[in-house]
Amino acid sequence: MNSSIRFSITSLLIFTSKVAFCYILSFFAFTGCSNQGSGNQSGPQTNRSFHNPSAEEPGSSPAATPSRESAPAGSNNARILSAAHSALGESSAAGPDGGNLACAWMVNRILQRSVGYRINGDSTASMHQQLESRVRQGLAERIPIDSIQPGDIIISPTRFEPTRSTGHVGIMGRGGQIYENSSSQARWIQRRGVSGWRSYYESSNKHGGPLRTYAYRIMT
Amino acid sequence: MILKTLYSLIIASLLAVTPCFCEEDEQPEVESKIIVEHEYKGKSYRILSESEGYSGALYILRKDGEDWTAIAGDSSPFPLDQYGIEEKLSLELAKKFVEYEISTMGMAKVSENLSDRKKLPWDLKEAYSAHADVSHIRSVYRAKKKGLNPMVAALKKVENAQGADQLKLVVNKELAPYFHKIIIQIADEPKPELSSALFRALKSHPSLSELQQILAVYAANQERDFLSQVNSLPQDQRRVCAEALDAAVMAKLVGSKFSSPLKELVKTIR
């Protein structure tokens, strides 16, 4: 058997098995047996399919649905959300390393504009430590990631040992989409959801190994 | 049922030809760039910039034999002495990083970044000072060692500080690096040596807001332990504690959820 025929048969077999697999998935979806869209955030490996690809970058998972879509007017969350939204498209090229290292720097700028202060330190690890300190002071709250709401801070702190694993920080937006700095674009963007975030930073496939994700609400 | 099956088959076929919807998330390519190479005391060091699409970080690498080991790293890891890197080396690496930033971003962008900064890591501030006026920006110092002893030592230095100028310097340089560590430690697991150091420092400087804040966090998170410690103090020191707690609540140094319980506590220990 020549190689092109063998290739065609292999491709056909793969295609058929994919159709069969997806048929089973879609059948369960229609009969209500699937857990798709349940909003379950049990781990980074859930909610892989049936999402709107235009809402997220290729390869990311659908957004988590926050328990409340808008922050109460006049609250810190509302102020942070408004400032984060207003900054969409803003360049971070003046930030560390021309915007490449500007995630915490941009979040701090948004906080400065909205609540009037920065969580000191343009690094994810120091920001995480200071947020924890603020929790002890009653000035912030640590939120279960499943209950994250617009205006909350989402953070996966970087670590350098035992392996280098680069983390990130962003601000939860409406529609389950996170505002964040894009290192590659040096720009404040909104493109992926909590599931997409977690499936990246908590993935065992992540370069340098998985990180933990935390959510915080600024109270005062 | 037939319609449902047909519909499912159509969707299944569509999903099969668009495999990215069904498959595992792909991890973006990691871009690594060595931006600084440096020699210090016969050892080789590098600053590595790593980018993963959305996020990026700087890592400080040291050559150990044939391998490069990461000894520090974060989106902005300065001041580097927080990772136990010698101050002189921290400064040399910060200077090279700033030179790299200026050469790639241009001085205008760097100045824009500096224009709204109120604080800067001490090594970066020193490095920027060769290129711009940063004298109005406060320095940020970091804890060099982990553990309880440096926190107790920092409080001891506050206790011994005399005069407003010296106190301000000690608070900025000695207490500030440990402030958040002390807060977390005293809220989660207060140790007698830490609380004793706090009470002594507070006795010397009862109106220092940093101490009032630590005291309020201690009282709010560890009420039983706090009361047992306070009740063993002489009457005059108990009064100092009560006034400091009151001041912390009035100045909103703690969140509103702590205000009422702390006010009650003030009445108890007066």
- The string of pLDDT tens digits covering residues B199-239 is 999 999 999 999 999 999 999 999 999 999 999 999 999 99
For residue A23, list chain B residues with Cβ-Cβ distance below 8 A: 8-9, 12
Give start and end residues of each alpha helix (H) in B66-208.
87-105, 107-115, 122-128, 148-160, 164-170, 176-188, 192-204
> What percentage of residues in chain B have a pLDDT greater than 70?
89
Paired sense of beta strands A177-182 and A187-193, if any: antiparallel
For residue A93, list chain B residues with Cβ-Cβ distance below 8 A: 105, 109
CA distance A149 to chain B (A): 20
**Residue B216: predicted pLDDT:** 96
The neighbouring-strand residues paired with A188 are A181
Structure tokens at B57: 């970080």
Written as one letter, the residue type at B54 is: Y
Cross-chain Cβ contact A139/B54 below 8 Å: no
Do residues A86 and A92 make contact, with C-beta atoms less than 8 angstroms apart? no
Residue to mutate among B52, B54, B218, with most A CBs inside 10 A, is B54
Do residues B218 and B253 make contact, with C-beta atoms less than 8 angstroms apart? no
Q: Name the residue with tokens 């808008």.
A: A70
Cross-chain Cβ contact A26/B15 below 8 Å: yes
Cross-chain Cβ contact B213/A137 below 8 Å: yes
Cα separation, B183 vs B171, in Å, equals 15
SS3 B265: helix
Sign, Cα dihedral of B143, B147, B153, B159:
positive
Count of CB atoms within 10 A of residue B265's CB?
Answer: 23
pLDDT string in tens for chain A (220-residue length): 454 555 455 555 555 555 455 455 444 444 333 333 333 333 333 232 223 333 333 333 334 444 456 677 779 999 999 999 999 999 999 888 889 899 999 999 999 999 999 887 678 998 999 999 999 999 999 999 999 999 999 999 999 998 999 999 999 999 999 999 999 899 999 989 999 999 999 998 899 999 999 999 999 8
- pLDDT above 60: residue B98: yes
For residue B185, list chain A residues with Cβ-Cβ distance below 8 A: none
For residue B26, list chain A residues with Cβ-Cβ distance below 8 A: 58-59
Global model pTM greater than 0.80: no
Facing A61 at nearest CB: one of B9, B25, B116: B25
How many residues in chain A?
220
Cross-chain Cβ contact B22/A199 below 8 Å: no
Do residues A165 and A103 make contact, with C-beta atoms less than 8 angstroms apart? no
**Residue B11: predicted pLDDT:** 53
Structure tokens at B139: 């320095």
Cross-chain Cβ contact A59/B110 below 8 Å: no
Which residues, 6 or more positions from A74, have their beta carbon under 8 angstroms from its beta carbon? none
